[in-house]
């Protein structure tokens, strides 16, 4: 009798994964089974075979019932506390505009974010209201764009003058074979639309220049630089400093990548503080000249998106004042402290 009871209990518990029966329904089934067993002990006389098969006494079952009731009460208290904490967090958050309201599909899409206490509903609304510009839709921009879109960043701008080439597809995972010859920004727009239709994409099929950068940067809250030439990075850095915008910058070469957040307006250095002089020609080669392992841009570009999400939501500790260096060949990652240069010709006066 006892073995049969255990099999019934195991069957009820297994209903969830097998038939997608909600946990609440399984609790009701277990509760009814418990009441039936307890009733048998209370109604049948001492020594009855069914009572003996169920332990011979109601005492252990009563104790089990008390323990179960305490566990359920503790769970209910935790839920009440969590609801109050969430309500407090929501009350302290800035009031959401009507456009920041989520549809049912969005709530399900971002459920894993909203569950995180460091993000929650307030953080997800910040992502929905955020505007992020990605400079470059190549190796670093590709994964960064995909994860920014998946995270629910409301407006994503992407600027790049190039078209998709066959040699890009070894690492630039936002593009596809059938989009060869298409401008990268439109290819990226198509991929993002397929991934998350709730995100607005603004493609700029042109080179970023010092003339258009100020007006363009003014439209965004955060800039991500995924370019691979020092002169372009220096121009992006100067424009971000002038606009007072935080800049998440990544760089890769062969097997090594680096990542930081430049932000002189909030105490962090800019690119010129850390790298005041252009690198010598033998150390300034692009990925096309040195080669790059295909998955490395995915690692560094995804980390750029992660740091962007943290910066926009205020979660955790970001890379402001630190540089992360990843050596993929030897599977080593380390971070270095970097500081502002008071005499920096780019940000020294900010």
Better-scored residue on pLDDT, 39 or 297: 297
CB 225 within 8 A of CB 250: yes
Q: Is 336 helix (H, G, I), strand (E, B) or coil?
A: strand
Ranking 67-76, 169-178, 305-314, 318-327 by mean pLDDT, the lowest is: 67-76
Distances (CA, A) of 175 to 166, 185, 306, 321: 10, 10, 21, 33
CB atoms within 10 A of CB 88: 10
Average pLDDT over residues 58-74: 77
The rounded distance, in Å, linking the Cα atoms of 151 and 327 is 27
Q: Is 241 helix (H, G, I), strand (E, B) or coil?
A: helix
Burial of residue 53 (CB within 10 Å: 0-12, 13-18, 19+) is middle
Kindly report, residue by residue over 224-240, the tens digit of the pLDDT. Answer: 999 989 999 999 999 99
Q: Under 8 Å CB-to-CB from 258, ≥6 apart: which residues?
A: 250, 251, 252, 300, 323, 324, 325, 326
Residue-range domains of the chain with CATH: 2-92 (no CATH), 130-337 (3.40.50.720)
The rounded distance, in Å, linking the Cα atoms of 218 and 245 is 8
The rounded distance, in Å, linking the Cα atoms of 161 and 154 is 23
pLDDT band for position 72 (cuts 50, 70, 90): confident
Kindly report, residue by residue over 105-135, the tens digit of the pLDDT. Answer: 999 999 999 999 999 999 999 999 999 999 9
**% of the chain surpassing 90 pLDDT:** 64
Burial of residue 55 (CB within 10 Å: 0-12, 13-18, 19+) is middle
pLDDT band for position 4 (cuts 50, 70, 90): low
The answer on pLDDT for 221 being more than 70 is yes
The rounded distance, in Å, linking the Cα atoms of 170 and 327 is 19
- As beta bridge partners, residue 322 has 337
Kindly report, residue by residue over 25-39, the tens digit of the pLDDT. Answer: 667 677 777 777 777
Closest CA to 231 of 247, 208, 254, 211: 208
CB 141 within 8 A of CB 301: yes
The rounded distance, in Å, linking the Cα atoms of 185 and 182 is 8
CA dihedral angle for residue 293, residue 294, residue 298, residue 299, rounded to 10 degrees? -30
């Amino acid at each position: 009798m006892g073995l049969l009871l255990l099999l019934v209990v195991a069957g009820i518990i297994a209903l969830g994964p097998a038939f997608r029966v909600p946990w609440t329904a399984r609790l009701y089934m277990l509760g009814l089974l418990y009441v039936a067993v307890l009733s048998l002990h209370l109604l049948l006389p001492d020594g009855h075979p069914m009572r003996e098969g169920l332990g011979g006494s109601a005492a252990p079952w009563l104790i089990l019932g008390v323990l179960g009731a305490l566990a359920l009460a503790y769970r209910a208290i935790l839920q009440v506390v969590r609801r109050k904490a969430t309500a407090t967090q929501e009350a302290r958050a800035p009031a959401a505009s009507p456009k920041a309201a989520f549809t049912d599909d969005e709530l399900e899409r971002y459920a894993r974010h909203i569950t995180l206490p460091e993000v929650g509903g307030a953080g997800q609304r910040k992502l929905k209201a955020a505007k992020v510009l990605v400079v470059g839709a190549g190796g670093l921009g590709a994964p960064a764009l995909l994860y920014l879109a998946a995270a629910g960043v409301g407006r994503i701008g992407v600027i790049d003058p190039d078209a998709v080439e066959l040699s890009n597809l070894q690492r630039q995972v936002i593009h596809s074979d059938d989009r060869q010859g298409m401008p990268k920004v439109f290819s990226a727009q198509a991929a993002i639309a397929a991934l998350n239709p709730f995100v607005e994409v603004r493609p700029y099929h042109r080179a970023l220049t010092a003339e258009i950068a100020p007006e363009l940067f003014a439209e965004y809250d955060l800039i991500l630089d995924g370019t691979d030439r020092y002169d372009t990075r220096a121009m992006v850095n100067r424009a971000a400093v002038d606009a007072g915008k935080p800049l998440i910058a990544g760089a890769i070469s062969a097997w090594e990548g680096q990542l930081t957040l430049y932000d002189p307006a909030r105490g962090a250095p800019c690119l010129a503080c850390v790298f005041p002089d252009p690198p010598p020609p033998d150390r300034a080669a692009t990925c096309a000249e040195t080669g790059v392992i295909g998955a490395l841009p995915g690692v560094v570009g995804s980390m750029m998106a992660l740091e962007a999400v943290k910066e926009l939501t205020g979660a955790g500790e970001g890379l402001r004042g630190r540089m992360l260096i990843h050596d993929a060949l030897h599977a080593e990652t380390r971070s270095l402290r970097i500081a502002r240069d008071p005499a920096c010709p780019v940000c020294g006066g900010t």
